[in-house]
């Protein structure tokens, strides 16, 4: 019996008719890897970048056991777990961080190519350094999201690279023979305005300060409500943690909480916070929205909202974050937000958080402060 792909869903990530849980690239990766997956032993298959579980659960359906899985977004991990209950496969895989334990001794790696070349470099470094010398990496994506630079990143870590024909606008790169000089992934580092930024591959803006984030930081007043251990300032969707770190550096007694759905962001934020010596006052957690924060518990939240869901650009993400900020703020608490001016988020903020004042606006970015109802 073939695997029931139609059972897969994206929840708790956003669901809509044009946002799919499985696509032609997933099916091509599975088809192109079928021969090398046949006969694998327990624990020899690794899956990286599976969006909602299609690769993992179909491979389990076809016989794989003790599959090690890494997905960057915590929503992907949650969707995989829920899909495993609905479509079968629970107990046959483990979710792990992007460390050597994920890939040690692996014989086959199924990889959904990330959008970022730095993220691909980190993943390829890890596989080349720690997988079995015979490992076969079957890496695929939608042709429109693939570039020849991806081949170069893989060629720099593997001596053999084969490129499949395109099928349904998807393609697979198969890498073999990891190079002997492979090394662990190295985060990128830079000093920006006196602050050290540490970035693992794929994190928003890399080791740089985004122009919108810079505007938000410049606009924040000196005095902010909260900032105590019971009511820490929240850097919502923190990326490298540049906002949390900047707040902690500027206010030597303040407590800050930073969170992001992305494992690469959380690793980067932890490293950034540590590099600036503020780790004791800034906690960093992986979280979908602000799920781990209580209702009406916070006085101040800073947010530069996302507009990508995987490779899809969408304006449906930000309202979910605004609504959760509204839930977590106490009445009168402040959401400081920077957004792309053409997006016209002000009425959305008014509806989901409360009265919203424009603090500054230029053709590219707008900064607003919303007071929770």
Cβ 23 to ligand SAM shortest distance, Å: 20
- Subset of 155-174 contacting ligand SAM (CB under 6 A): none
Nearer to ligand SAM, 140 or 212 (CB): 212
The single-letter DSSP state of residue 250 is H
Residue with tokens 């996302």: 306
Query: What is the H or E stretch that residue 309 is in?
Result: strand 308-309
Cβ 243 to ligand SAM shortest distance, Å: 5
Residues binding ligand SAM: number (CB under 6 A): 19
Residue 276, interface with ligand SAM (CB under 6 A)?
no
Collapse the DSSP code of 215 into the 3-class scheme (helix H, G, I; strand E, B; otherwise coil) and give the result.
Answer: helix
Name the nearest CA neighbour of 120 among 135, 95, 139. 139
Q: Binding marks (x or -) toward ligand SAM, 218..257, rule CB under 6 A?
A: -------------------xxxx-xx--------------
Nearer to ligand SAM, 5 or 236 (CB): 236
Cβ 242 to ligand SAM shortest distance, Å: 5
Candidates 288, 335, 365, 366: give the one binding ligand SAM (CB under 6 A). Answer: 288
Candidates 24, 205, 323, 371: give the one binding ligand SAM (CB under 6 A). Answer: 205
Degrees to nearest 5, angle at CA 254 with 250 and 256? 100
Instruction: Report the alpha-carbon distance of residue 327 to residue 190 in Å, rounded.
Output: 35
Collapse the DSSP code of 46 into the 3-class scheme (helix H, G, I; strand E, B; otherwise coil) and give the result.
Answer: strand
Where are the alpha helices (H) located in the chain, listed in sequence order?
A: 24-37, 54-61, 74-87, 100-103, 117-130, 148-155, 211-219, 242-250, 263-275, 317-328, 346-352
Instruction: Give the residue at shortest CB distance from ligand SAM.
Output: 239
Candidates 33, 213, 368, 370: give the one binding ligand SAM (CB under 6 A). Answer: 213
Burial 100-123 (b: 16+ CB within 10 A, else e): eebbeebbbbbbbbbeebbbbbbb
Tokens of 105: 């001794």
Cβ 60 to ligand SAM shortest distance, Å: 26
Residue 315, interface with ligand SAM (CB under 6 A)?
no
Residue 306, interface with ligand SAM (CB under 6 A)?
yes
Cβ 133 to ligand SAM shortest distance, Å: 34
Binding window for ligand SAM (CB under 6 A); candidates: 24-32, 98-106, 260-268, 339-347: 260-268
The single-letter DSSP state of residue 88 is S
Candidates 5, 93, 204, 345: give the one binding ligand SAM (CB under 6 A). Answer: 204
Q: At what angle do helices 148-155 and 117-130 cross, to 10 degrees?
A: 30
Nearer to ligand SAM, 103 or 237 (CB): 237
Instruction: Report the alpha-carbon distance of residue 236 to residue 199 in Å, rounded.
Output: 17
Nearer to ligand SAM, 119 or 238 (CB): 238
CA quadruple 22, 239, 272, 113: dihedral sign? positive
Candidates 26, 77, 260, 334: give the one binding ligand SAM (CB under 6 A). Answer: 260
Nearer to ligand SAM, 87 or 290 (CB): 290
Chain residues binding ligand SAM by CB under 6 A are 204-205, 210, 213, 237-240, 242-243, 260-262, 265, 288-289, 304, 306, 317
């Amino acid at each position: 019996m073939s695997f029931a792909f139609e059972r897969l869903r994206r929840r708790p990530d956003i669901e809509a008719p044009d946002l799919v849980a499985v696509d032609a690239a997933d099916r091509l990766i599975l088809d192109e890897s079928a021969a090398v997956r046949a006969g694998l032993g327990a624990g020899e298959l690794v899956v990286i970048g599976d969006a909602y579980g299609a690769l993992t659960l179909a491979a389990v359906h076809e016989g794989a056991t003790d599959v090690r899985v890494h997905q960057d977004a915590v929503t992907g991990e949650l969707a995989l777990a829920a899909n495993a209950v609905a479509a079968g496969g629970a107990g046959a895989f483990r979710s792990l961080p992007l460390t050597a334990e994920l890939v040690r001794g692996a014989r086959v790696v199924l990889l959904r190519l990330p959008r970022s070349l730095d993220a691909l470099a980190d993943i390829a470094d890890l596989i080349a350094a720690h997988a079995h010398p015979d490992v076969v990496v079957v890496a695929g994506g939608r042709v429109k999201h693939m570039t020849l630079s991806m081949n170069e990143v893989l060629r720099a870590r593997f001596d053999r690279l084969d490129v499949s024909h395109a099928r349904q606008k998807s393609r697979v790169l198969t890498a073999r023979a990891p190079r002997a000089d492979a090394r662990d992934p190295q985060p990128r580092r830079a000093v920006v305005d006196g602050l050290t930024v540490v970035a693992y591959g794929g994190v928003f803006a890399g080791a740089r300060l985004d122009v919108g984030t810079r505007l938000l930081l410049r606009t924040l007043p000196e005095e902010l409500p909260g900032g105590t251990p019971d009511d820490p300032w929240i850097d919502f969707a923190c990326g490298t943690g540049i906002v949390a770190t900047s707040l902690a550096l500027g206010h030597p007694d303040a407590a800050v909480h930073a969170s992001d759905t992305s494992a690469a962001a959380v690793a980067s934020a932890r490293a950034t916070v540590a590099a600036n010596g503020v780790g004791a006052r800034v906690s960093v957690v992986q979280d979908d929205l602000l799920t781990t924060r209580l209702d009406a518990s916070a006085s101040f939240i800073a947010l530069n909202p996302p507009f990508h869901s995987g490779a899809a650009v969408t304006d449906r993400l930000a309202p979910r974050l605004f609504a959760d900020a509204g839930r977590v703020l106490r009445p009168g608490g402040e959401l400081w937000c920077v957004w792309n001016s053409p997006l016209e988020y002000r009425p959305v903020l008014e509806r989901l958080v409360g009265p919203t004042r424009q603090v500054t606006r230029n053709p590219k970015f707008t900064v607003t402060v919303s007071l929770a109802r």
